[in-house]
A and B are shown apart, each in its own frame.
Chain A
Amino acid sequence: MKLAISISGNRLDAPFDPRFGRAVAFCLVDSETGEWTVHANPALSATGGAGVQAAQFIAKLGAQAVVSGAYGPNAFETLSSAGIELYLAPASESLTAADVLALFKAGKLSKPEAATRPGQHGGGR
């Protein structure tokens, strides 16, 4: 399965970034083969709608699942509509993308049933 993990670096051993829309980058990793690539998040400096933009980006990358630390309402809706499975990992400074992959493989990540936080800036407009 192709998994997109939000990270704050450019390698599989980079720290996990618990933000979704404002993640520095996404590590796209194949959970079977372990092959990985890193993609800078185009929504990082968006003035608004970062969650929507990041979700579309992940969908275009062909990810089937995503791991982050929190999802806003727009990101949740966009990812769900795209049929991407959402997973949550704890916001821990010592966690790397490789650790998150191991947790995923071990079935230790939870799935949110709805957005895990409210939208920001009262909607942004």
Chain B
Amino acid sequence: MRIVVASGKGGTGKTTIATSLALVAAEQEAVRLLDCDVEASNAALFLHPEFNQRKEVGILLPVVDEMLCTHCGRCAEVCQFHAIAVIGKKTLIFPELCHGCGSCRLNCPEKAIHEQLDGMGVLESGLTSSGIAFAQGVMNVGEPMAVPIIRELKKWQSDANPAAAHLQLEQFQLEIRDAPPGASCPVVETLHGADFAILVTEPTPFGLHDLKQVVKICRELGIPAGVILNRDGIGDDAVEKYCAENELPILMRIPMERRFAEAIASGKTLVEAAPEFRASFRALLETIATRVTA
């Protein structure tokens, strides 16, 4: 089963939920946690994995062999992103526009295009002391595009990397993906292929506004979703009304309490700081399992 923890608005508690959910689940099943917020990964700060695997990832950029190129212009024609221009006897490539789709290479009648990895970031993995297989993507500073790194993180397996057997698909029962904030391509990529989405929000107009956007994405992708209301007690009841009107179950409530904020600020997980939530997370896992298999 694959569960994504997303939010829309940033800072609502995605990582707080994802890390505690992973800890509670790992007591009973093999869990892997993917930190898909490759622009600012932070789940490792709470779970302290020992990273022992590393892989550079990116997209494949076209390279033109000028000896073979006849400047027919087919590559420029098929490029949806205008990353190639053929002008007279020159073929220009604009790497920062390229999405690495490979259409130019596939369509070149002269086989004059090959591809070369443009490193955009790294994947790192290792086990935590509680036995969670942890993996994260870290995007290079200045890179504009996170999606290729998330895509590689999701499919990173032991085939190419025998030492990382703990990340192998068949060897875990539950995958938890900690999503980036927002509702743009990186979030869509993180959600893609998931069985359930936990949407963490707060009862404020900002929380609601961004929640609606992520709910729309989940519906578009056909992923069932439920809401966790963090900082419950502040703001207004608009999120609850919206959830009721849109048949979104409220799966858990976390009240606004200073001790939670203090614990998290000092690097503790929610279930470490407030063990009474252990039962709530266990129940949450059961609720989700029932919904997914139903």
B-contacting residues of A (Cβ < 8 Å)?
Answer: 43, 46-50, 52-53, 55-56, 59, 74, 77-78, 81-83, 119, 121-125
Contact = CB atoms under 8 A, between A and B. Distances in A.
B92 A123 contact: no
19 contacts: A47-B81, A49-B81, A52-B85, A52-B92, A52-B97, A55-B87, A74-B94, A74-B97, A78-B85, A81-B85, A81-B87, A82-B88, A83-B88, A119-B96, A122-B144, A123-B96, A123-B97, A125-B81, A125-B96
A121 to B, nearest CB: 7
B97 A56 contact: no
Interface of B: 76, 81-83, 85-88, 90, 92, 94, 96-99, 144-145
A83 B145 CA distance: 32
A32 to B, nearest CB: 24
Contacts of B92: 52, 77-78, 81
Contacts, number: 62
Given A56-B87, A119-B96, A49 B144 contact: no
A123 B145 CA distance: 9
Given A52-B97, A56-B82, A82-B88, 12 more contacts: A43-B82, A49-B81, A52-B92, A52-B94, A55-B87, A56-B76, A77-B94, A81-B92, A119-B96, A123-B144, A124-B81, A124-B144
A52 B87 CA distance: 11
Contacts of A82: 87-88
Contacts of A81: 85, 87-88, 90, 92
Contacts of B145: 123, 125
Contact of A48 (B85, B86, B87, B97): B97
A82 B99 CA distance: 24
A121 B82 contact: no
Given A123-B144, A124-B144, A52 B88 contact: no
B283 to A, nearest CB: 42
Complex A-B, nearest 6 residue pairs according to Cβ-Cβ distance, in ascending order = A49-B82, A123-B96, A122-B144, A82-B87, A52-B82, A53-B82
A49 B97 contact: yes
A87 B251 CA distance: 62
A102 B85 CA distance: 31
